[in-house]
Structures are given as C-alpha cells and as structure tokens.
Amino acid sequence: MIHYILMFHQHCVTEELTPQYLQDMIPMCMDQYKRIFCTVREPHEDVDKLVTHNSRHIIIMRRGVYFKLDIYSVDNDGKEMILTVQEIHSILQQIMNLTEDTTECCRIASLTTQRRDIWAKQRTQLLGNPVNKSSITDVETCVSMFCLDDESPKTEEELAATVMTGNGVNRWFDKSLEFISFANGLVGVNAEHASADATIPGRLWEYFLTSEKYKNGKIEIDRNTRRKRLPIPERLEWELDDFEQEIDIALEGFKKIAESFDLRIVSPYYGKGLIKKKKMSPDGYIQMALQLAFYRLHQKIPKTYESASTRIFAEGRTETIRPGSDYSVQWVKSMHCEKATREQRIMLLRKAVQFQTQVKIDTSLGMGWDRHLLGLFAVSHELQISPPALFRDKAFWKPDILSTSQTPTQFTKQWRLDSSCIGGGFFPSAFDGYGVAYMVVGEDIIKFHVTTNYNCPTTSATKMGDTIVEAMADMAELLS
C-alpha cells in the first residue's frame, strides 16, 4: 500500500496523472490533487489554514510511537528512487520490532479531536517547546501518515467505524489523508474533507487496489533487489508532561463523539444494471429510494443535500443538488395511497427522477443556488451590512436532515470488480439526521453506508439501512 500511494504522489508532483474527463468529453480540474499529499489543516482561533508543503518524508505510527521516514533511497547508480515494496517491508519490520514491547503511548493526537479554537491555543503552546515543535512540524509537513493498528476488524461496519474514529490517539485528524493498516491485512483511509472531495482520494485508492500484485494471496517480496543504503526510521520525541490534563479532557470528549457514531452498511439485491434497463438515471433512482425510506420511518419529507461536482470549472469543488421536488413528494405519498394505480406511481417516479437528473446537470454546470447564496451571505457579513431578509428567515437555516453523496468508483480502465473499493461514509450533518453515502460498484452492486448519531432517540442507522433495502425492493417490484 505505502509504495503505490507514494507512486501516485509522484505522478501528482510530476503531473503525469492522466486527466479526468466528464463523460469522456469535458476536461475536469485537477487542482485538488495538489492538496491530498503534504497538506495539513492548521488550527487557528478564528479560521483554520490549509497549508501544503514540499515534503519527502512520511510518518508511520504504531502504538502511539511516531517514526519519520524518508521516502527515497539511493540505487546502485547513485540515483534517488522511491522506496520499493521490499524495502518498505524491511523498514516496517524494524518498526514492528521496535514497538512490539513498548509501554509508552504518546497521546498527543487526541488534541486534534477537539474544537478547533481549543486545539489552536494548545498547539501554539506546544510549538513553544523546541522538541514538540520539531515533531509537530514533521507530522504536519509529511507526505502522508500511515497508522499500523493492532485491531483486526471482523465486519465491514467494524472496519469502517475503526477507520473513521480510531481510539483517540492513533489518528492525527488535521492531515489530509491517513492510511490505516490492520493486523489482519485490512486497510482504510481517513480523509480530512477541507483539502479535497471524495473523488480525489477515491481515484488514489483505486490506483493502489489495482496496482498491488498478489501471489497465493500474499504480496511477493523480492529480497534480492535491495539498494545500497536504506533510510533509517527516525523516532519522534515529545515532551508532554505539562499537557496531561488537557489530553485527558480531550480523550474524554473524543470518547463521547466516537460512541455516538452509529453505522450500518447494506446492499439491495440488484445494481445499476436493472435500473438502466428501466431507462432511469441510477443516481436519481437511488435518491428516490432514500426519500421513500425516510418517509416510511418519519412520515415526512426531509430537507435533503446531495453533492454535485463542479470540477469542469477551474478550482471547482461542489454544489448542492436538491433532489426533493413536488414530483418526489407526490410519488412517495402515492406509494402509501391505496387509490394510486401502478401506472400513476411509475409516472410520478419517472418525473421525480427526471427532475433530480436535470437539477444535477444544472448544478454541475454552475447553475446551482446554494453556494451562490452562501457567497452573498458571506459578502454581507464582510461588508458589515444587514443581510437580506432571506437570510433572516429561520427556514433558510434549517439543517439538512438527509445528507447524501455518491462515493465515486471506476475512474480508469484498470478498474476491476474483484479489487474495487467497498465504499466510504461520513457523520450526519444534523443531530437528528442521517448521513448516507452510496457506491455503485459495477452493474450489480450498490453499497449504502448509513450513519446516525447514536444519542438521538428518533434515528437509527440499522432501521434506515433496512428500510432503504426494502424501498429498493419495492421499486424493483413496481417496475417489474
């Protein structure tokens, strides 16, 4: 994993990465690839700063021990080359041996789990110590962090939850990307969203999964091709005696947040192949399934967020799709109305999907409204003028109860079903809301990652996941 991630980083640096195109026609901005490596979200009391460095080292963390490792070694001709798989394997074995009997676990990473203003003040204090400043600088400027966890997740839910939260001391949440490897060989990536959108680490993950080669279920290690000199992992030092109380408080707060993370992963019995046969957009169809599932659980229509990429524009990020419409409301209600005929339900479903599809196209072409309105509000604040009446209406600030996003896959022709990512997810944006990430894998698989706040008495990831599967089944039956 480490070798191919570093190779992808090199492709980004040398701009050798094949550009992406929308529908194989429209070029998409590649600017975000500059920020998935060597990047940190620096905490500040007012506004955080996203800083990208020029780095040549990674950080490997195991059992609370941090190691700095140069990613290059010198070949027999004196040329610097990225560490090979076998060289990394040898170095990792050194780190495993060095940490096998360790009893000292550095807990500083827990401070990154707090409110940003609190962590900003503590970070400033830590930087006043030369030892801590050196180590923090090495962590924040590294190409990426690699966390070697001792756990062995047994289910997809357990794997996803552990990648997401860690144990409070084994994730540095300011880094753009952290790659986690578990004792049983499973892997995952924790992404800090400010630096890039899911499409960017998604392509990186696909590159790694399609590049790694196995023989009899194991990676081949050629022990005869090592170079003359290998970099030596350097252990980072910390002086944290004056911060033990702050760390204890941070860990107590982290525990409450981590315990509130409720996750369910489900799949219906069919994929986009069946949906396309019915001549409907798979994304719009899935969005209607989410509307139906929510209505069945709560007997109301949710304010819904869906992300759309605006990368056809320079430095484009996302815009908001609002999939709800009069058509979707009528269709959802028709599914619970005995007087509604099958033909009426199908007609309303098709109109609802068509509406969502058009909104998705419009937002991707820069004709959305959420970001535009946010910009107007920000301008009124910066100019210190009274915001327009729209922004003083409490309805405008209602939270997105259903926050959704399609996790991308199949970026290149090298993609294979047997090595595809199994999806990703995020925490809901509202206390009483749902976070639903879905991945369309090939023609026959759709994965839903459903999250809720476990402390909310009115929501349940398990119930929502099961109801989504039920809704997908009923829609297939309706169209059969």
- Residues taking part in catalysis: 193
Residue 210 and residue 330: Cα distance in Å, rounded? 44
DSSP code per residue over 129-193:
SHHHHHHHHHHHHSS-EEEE------SHHHHHHHHHHTTSSS--TTBSEEEEE-TTS-EEEEE-T
3-state helix, strand, coil in the chain (%, to 5): 40, 20, 40
83 burial (CB, 10 Å; 0-12 / 13-18 / 19+) is buried
Residues comprising the chain, all counted: 480
Distance CA 352, CA 359 (A): 11
The rounded distance, in Å, linking the Cα atoms of 240 and 263 is: 34
Tokens of residue 194, six digits: 């400010």
**Helices 326-334 & 282-298, crossing angle to 10 degrees?**
60
Q: Are 50 and 194 in contact (CB under 8 A)?
A: yes
Report how far residue 96's alpha carbon sits from residue 339's, in angstroms, rounded to the nearest whole number: 67
Compute the distance between CA of residue 433 and CA of residue 454 in angstroms, rounded to an integer.
11
For 316, the 3-state DSSP assignment is coil
477 CB neighbour count, 10 Å cutoff = 9
Strand 261-266, strand 234-235: pairing: unpaired
